[in-house]
Structure 1
Amino acid sequence: MSSEVIYGLHAVEKFIKQSPQSVYSIRFVKGRLNGRQQALFDQAKALGLSPQFVAKTEFKGFDEVNHQGVLAEVAKQADLTESDLQELVENTANPLVIFLDEVQDPHNLGAILRTADAVGVTAVVIPKHNSVGMNATVRKVASGAADNVKLIVVSNLVRTIKQLQSSGMWMIGLAGETDLTIYDQDLTGSIGIVMGAEGSGLRRLTKEACDHLAAIPMVGVVESLNVSVATGIAVYEAFRQRSR
């Protein structure tokens, strides 16, 4: 099985707690460990892993602040696909799914996964091409949510949206060119929140596939919000409506 690298104290802590059997190796920068690093070292040993001390040069390519002196090589999990998504939706009452239309920045995907975990989103869906996928940066930013939220990789986003619409899911696309806001939408049933890419927003075909378009009210001079911020606003409105 292929492997991937995860880094940062929180991401590694979460992973080895949830899936110790999937850890190939865990490495610390050689030197004195701080309290949290020591706790992780002890946790790894207690789980039967064999943490190693290595030269700082082995961490080259990872930002020093972000890696926090620890890396783990872990088994790369197979991508979840369209069939997994269909099964999830069919077996979840009032599913809430986030669709990301070619989001490129791993920091945005990581932040979206973190928010999705916080509000109990059923799944986050990304296209196979022209989109950032799971990587070490996504895992670090997600702070453990990457292994708790279902990330589904599909071949064709628009086709997947239409398939789920035929199963009764309503698709709400976030876009600026509408007078309706996210607060005007009923987000209590089977709902898909469809978000566009950084800068370009929703592609034309994706936008046309949505049942409704909704905007986030803005009164300042900026024209748009960061996609992870906008996603957070939308899914928390869904969470608010579903909690009443």
Structure 2
Amino acid sequence: MSADDTSTLIGREPVLEALERDDLGLEKVMLKQGATGSRIGAIRAAAEERGTPVQYVPEARLRHESDGAAHQGVVAITAPIRYREVDEMLSEIAPTWDAVQAAQPMLLVIDRVTDPRNFGAILRSAVAAGTDGVIVPSREMAPLNAAAIKASAGTAPRIPIARSDDLPRVLTQLKERSYFVYGAEGTAEAPLWDADWDRPVAVVLGSEGEGLAPPVAEACDELVSVPMRGPAESLNVSVAAGLLLFTAARPRM
């Protein structure tokens, strides 16, 4: 997906929430012809108050726009979510070494997560944990499409997301700005509980099947793992993200 693409919100609650917020642009709302009910009425009223156009369309149009997902008779087309430049985003979060030390930001770096639903779920956890910004690769990364936005429960526009074609270089840049970079690796001996999160940190997550790419892992300051008592070999990447981010957020709460 390019930075200029539109995305789609699917379902009554995500669309209604988006209409009630100011930080997400909506180009139009599409309702199934003949749709009724209190939530449909609330969506119509919110769209009218906001000045968002409403179209009444056949079921086939909604199936097409939602790519076969359960749409509940409601689909909204959002304005583009603009990916940021890494330097721009970092400067807005904390522009200098001293500012980074004072604010102790928490960043998330995602290395090649290709499932949009996992991407969206990770973003939802990132927003909930108070993550200041997210950095993703320009290639081999899930798009920020309708499935991702729905999996994020509409939270994706609430956090700045930057893209880079060279994650190892970005991690070096973060360290130069005084961030300590923790990489999540299932085979790492150090458990995440023992890490020092009371400082500016960047948490790096790898792909669903392969984990961190070797150059990305090498660029981290330290690798940590999620200890598991049971016989499972690994966790879903979005579950691991939630554990890591909320552990990292504890000193900031």
Shift of 1:2: 5.1
Runs (4+) of structure 1 exceeding 6 A deviation are none
Q: Decide which of 135, 140, 149 is 2:150's aligned counterpart.
A: 140
Q: Deviations over 1:36-76 (max 9, x none)?
A: 22211111012222312110000224366632221122321
Partner residue in 1 for 2:172: 162
Partner residue in 1 for 2:222: 212
Partner residue in 2 for 1:101: 111
- SS of 2:127's equivalent? helix
Does the 8 Å CA contact 1:5/1:71 hold for their aligned counterparts? yes
Q: Decide which of 87, 90, 94 is 1:86's aligned counterpart.
A: 90
Change (3 A) 1:112 1:34: same
Change (3 A) 1:84 1:15: farther
Shift of 1:21: 8.5
Instruction: Report the TM-score when normalising by structure 2.
Output: 0.89
- SS of 1:18's equivalent? coil
Paired residues, number:
243
Q: Decide which of 61, 70, 76 is 1:58's aligned counterpart.
A: 61
Change (3 A) 1:196 1:2: closer
Q: Decide which of 34, 39, 43 is 1:40's aligned counterpart.
A: 43
Does the 8 Å CA contact 2:23/2:157 hold for their aligned counterparts? no
Partner residue in 2 for 1:241: 251
Q: Deviations over 1:193-241 (max 9, x none)?
A: 1111001001101111010011100122221100000010011111223
d(CA) in 2 for partners of 1:71, 1:32: 12
The one-letter amino acid paired with 1:55 is: P
1:3 aligns with 2:13: no
Instruction: Report the TM-score when normalising by structure 1.
Output: 0.92
Does the 8 Å CA contact 2:26/2:76 hold for their aligned counterparts? yes
Most deviating of 73-82 and 189-198: 73-82
Give the share of equivalent positions with the same residue, in percent. 30
